[in-house]
Amino acid sequence: MKVMKFGGTSVGKPERMHQVATLITNETEPKIVVLSALSGTTNALSEISHQLSLGYKVPAKQKIDALETYYKNFIETLVVTKEGKDEAEKIIGEHFEFLNIILKISYSDALNKDILAQGELLSTKLFCVYLREKNIAHTFLPALEFMCIDENEEPRLERIVRRLNALLKDAKDETIFITQGYICRNAREEVDNLKRGGSDYTASLIAAAINASVCEIWTDIDGMHNNDPRVVDKTLPIEQLSFEEAA
């Protein structure tokens, strides 16, 4: 069994999501597929949360509505059938209803974590709608049922192993499992996360927990480069570097 993780830009456009479906069906080895939120979503959610923490409900509501429009446009190209569109709209409806409800309740750190979790919940559920439309058999593995951290925010590997393997055992003939990166439960069993960029960490923890043959991190850049390719032209990947150099 292997682990394949796809980052925000790899699922950030409907056609990129289609490509992910091709990549995960290319070979037959069973796999757990870890997805991030669509690029830009976690930043948007974090801004919404920040505005709510300051009591700025009007701009928060505007951002929620803009994000909802973005997702509605996204599914227009993601799926083509009426059933697919209905299913995807229902998912968007549920998650944005939640975001609209939080406008009315008092802000807390736990609520912040709930808000931040919406991105990965949306990306994985919408991806599964597309897989169903394409008749690609798969099983949805809710990360909140197995990924967990302790009171020091460190992963509880033993518990992850136990919970994840129990879920996998329930579906032993399946070959494609879809789960969320980043999100987890904390020591109080509340929704929490593995910190920004944490989806890679999710993938590594899963790979360790299932003793995976390989953990593939699919991303828009082929490793650590000698400069920031968003700023500098023709950067090159560095083949080997120490933790200190990377940091």
Out of Mg ion, ligand ASP, none, what residue 155 binds, judged by CB under 5 to 8 A for its kind, is none
Q: Are strands 183-185 and 191-193 parallel, antiparallel or unpaired?
A: antiparallel
From 215, 208, 216, 194, select the one nearest 157 (Cα to Cα): 208
Closest distance to ligand ASP from the beta carbon of 181 (Å): 5
Closest distance to ligand ASP from the beta carbon of 38 (Å): 9
Nearer to Mg ion, 34 or 79 (CB): 34
Closest distance to ligand ASP from the beta carbon of 205 (Å): 13
Give yes or no for residue 36 binding Mg ion (CB under 5 A). Answer: yes
Question: What does the DSSP 8-state code read for residue 220?
Answer: S
From 159, 137, 155, 158, select the one nearest 203 (Cα to Cα): 155
Closest distance to Mg ion from the beta carbon of 224 (Å): 15
Nearer to ligand ASP, 76 or 220 (CB): 220
Interaction with Mg ion in 6-25: which residues (CB under 5 A)?
7-8
Out of ligand ASP, Mg ion, none, what residue 37 binds, judged by CB under 5 to 8 A for its kind, is ligand ASP
Whole-number Å distance between alpha carbons of 45 and 114: 10
Stretch that binds Mg ion, among 14-22, 31-39, 58-66, 76-84 (CB under 5 A): 31-39
How many residues bind Mg ion (CB under 5 A)? The answer is 3
Task: Copy the structure tokens of residue 200.
Answer: 């890679």
Out of Mg ion, ligand ASP, none, what residue 182 binds, judged by CB under 5 to 8 A for its kind, is ligand ASP
Closest distance to ligand ASP from the beta carbon of 50 (Å): 15
From 140, 191, 117, select the one nearest 33 (Cα to Cα): 140
Closest distance to ligand ASP from the beta carbon of 16 (Å): 14
Q: Distance of CA 36 to CAs 11, 12, 52, 132, 237, Å? A: 8, 9, 24, 19, 23
Nearer to ligand ASP, 51 or 202 (CB): 202
What residue ranges bind ligand ASP (CB under 6 A)? Answer: 7-8, 36-37, 42, 119, 181-182, 196-199
Whole-number Å distance between alpha carbons of 88 and 68: 12
Q: Which regions of the chain does DSSP assign to beta strands (E)?
A: 2-6, 31-35, 139-141, 176-180, 183-185, 191-193, 215-218
Nearer to Mg ion, 102 or 203 (CB): 203
Nearer to Mg ion, 8 or 14 (CB): 8
Question: What does the DSSP 8-state code read for residue 95?
Answer: H
Whole-number Å distance between alpha carbons of 34 and 143: 9
Task: Copy the structure tokens of residue 173.
Answer: 């003939």
From 91, 178, 99, select the one nearest 143 (Cα to Cα): 178
Nearer to ligand ASP, 84 or 179 (CB): 179
Q: Which residues bind Mg ion (CB under 5 A)?
A: 7-8, 36
